[in-house]
Amino acid sequence: MRFASPFYLLFFAPALLLFFLFIKGRISKEAALRFSSLKIVKNAGAKRPPFQRIVPAVLRFLCFTCLILTLARPQTGTGEDKTTEHALDIVIALDLSGSMAALDFYPDDRVTVAKEEAKRFIEGRAHDRIGLVVFASQAMSVCPITFDHQAILALLDKVHLGMVEDGTAIGMGIGTAINRLKESEAKSKVVVLLTDGINNAGEISPLTAAGLAQKFGVKVYTVGVGKEGESLLPINDPQFGKRLVKIQDEIDEKTLTEIARETHGRYFRAQTANALRDIFHEIDRLEKTEITVERFTHYDEDYFWFLWPALFLLLAEIVWTNFIWVKIP
């Protein structure tokens, strides 16, 4: 609650002063007729009626108080929040080449851990539009950028090794992600690329794709997934069945670093599941969604809560003075 014209409240001071002066005068006022003794009246049980004398003054003071509050215009406000969200558009580009089955994060393979951490990242970006691209020898858009995070999480669950012919087309993965973002009007456009290999397929080289990303204002965060050195990769051997073979780390860190540098992103290396989680946390920290909240307040006039009592108090004073406590001349 507030008063739109609070300066009228200053009238309370003189009103209160006049009220006390009036009360003091009414109580101490001498009688118009003097008697030698009022002993007989007192013995009869008569009492001085100071309260009845000041009733008109009290009613008048309360009426004046209500009128002051009416003039001060009391108002009650109802608030409304207007939220402006400067959301980001993000595309996750996930490598589905055969080497992503390596058991670096035992008992899970690289792609399983990458998917789980990508899910956590998506769940934490409630205000952003997110899309999904997968790539191996070719790139495929699995989900356009959308606010429907449940849909993209369901599609991410269905992503698996072998759904795209084997190979590593990093340039095509970035290019397909850019194609999803180039028409975006978001404040920030981001690609998070997860791969464990060297570009060996596709019609677009990684650095050419980085140039396109820079042209369209897309920032690329590149993540190398996998341990340094040798890793175990499960394969199906026609002669011996499923067995584990050793493969050598082949992440092209130089190219991934150059892609990130050219697009004003960053390159990260994830050699453990916890490291990959920390990387997603860092990207989440670097790419914050800006939310501006403006508060609007609508005020309603509530002066009638005091105006009506003022009228009733004035009427009460008139009735008391002229019909109840009548003075005899």
Look at residue 172 and tell me whether its pLDDT is greater than 70. Answer: yes
Q: 86 near 291, Cβ under 8 Å?
A: yes
Distance from C-alpha of 65 to C-alpha of 63, rounded to nearest angstrom = 5
DSSP per-residue string spanning 198-249: ---SSSS-HHHHHHHHHHTTEEEEEEEES-SSEEEEEEEETTTEEEEEEEE-
Whether residue 291 has pLDDT greater than 70: no
How far are the Cα atoms of 16, 57, 62 from residue 20, in angstroms, in the given order? Answer: 6, 9, 13
* pTM exceeds 0.75 for this model: no
* Ranges 142-151, 181-190, 218-227, 287-296: which has the least confidence: 287-296
Distance CA 311, CA 304 (A): 10
Q: Which amino acid is present at 33?
A: L
% of the chain surpassing 70 pLDDT: 83
Q: How would residue 168 be classed by pLDDT, with cut points 50, 70 and 90? A: very high
- Tens-place pLDDT, residues 86-141: 678 999 999 999 999 999 888 899 999 999 999 999 999 988 999 999 999 999 99
* pLDDT greater than 90 at residue 186: no
Angstrom distance (rounded) from CA 263 to CA 211:
8
Q: Checking phi first, is residue 114 left (phi over 0); if not, alpha (psi -120 to 50) or beta? A: alpha
- Mean pLDDT (the chain) is 84
Which range (49-53, 122-126, 167-171, 312-316) has the least confidence?
Answer: 49-53
Q: If you average pLDDT over residues 53-75, what whole number do you get? A: 81
DSSP 8-state assignment for residue 183 = T
Domains of the chain: which residue ranges? 2-79+296-324, 88-288
Q: Report phi then psi at 304, rounded to 5.
A: -65, -20
Q: Which tens digits make up the pLDDT trace of 199-256? A: 999 999 999 999 999 999 999 999 999 988 888 888 877 777 778 888 888 899 999 9
Q: Which amino acid, one-letter code, is at 249?
A: D
Asked, as a colleague might, if the bond just before 107 is cis with ω within 30 of 0, I would say yes
pLDDT at 42 exceeding the cut of 80: no
* Whether the predicted pLDDT of 328 surpasses 80: no
Predicted local distance difference test score (pLDDT) of residue 61: 81
Mean pLDDT of all residues in 13-26: 74
* Options 3.40.50.410, 3.30.465.10, 3.10.28.10, 2.60.40.790; CATH of 88-288: 3.40.50.410
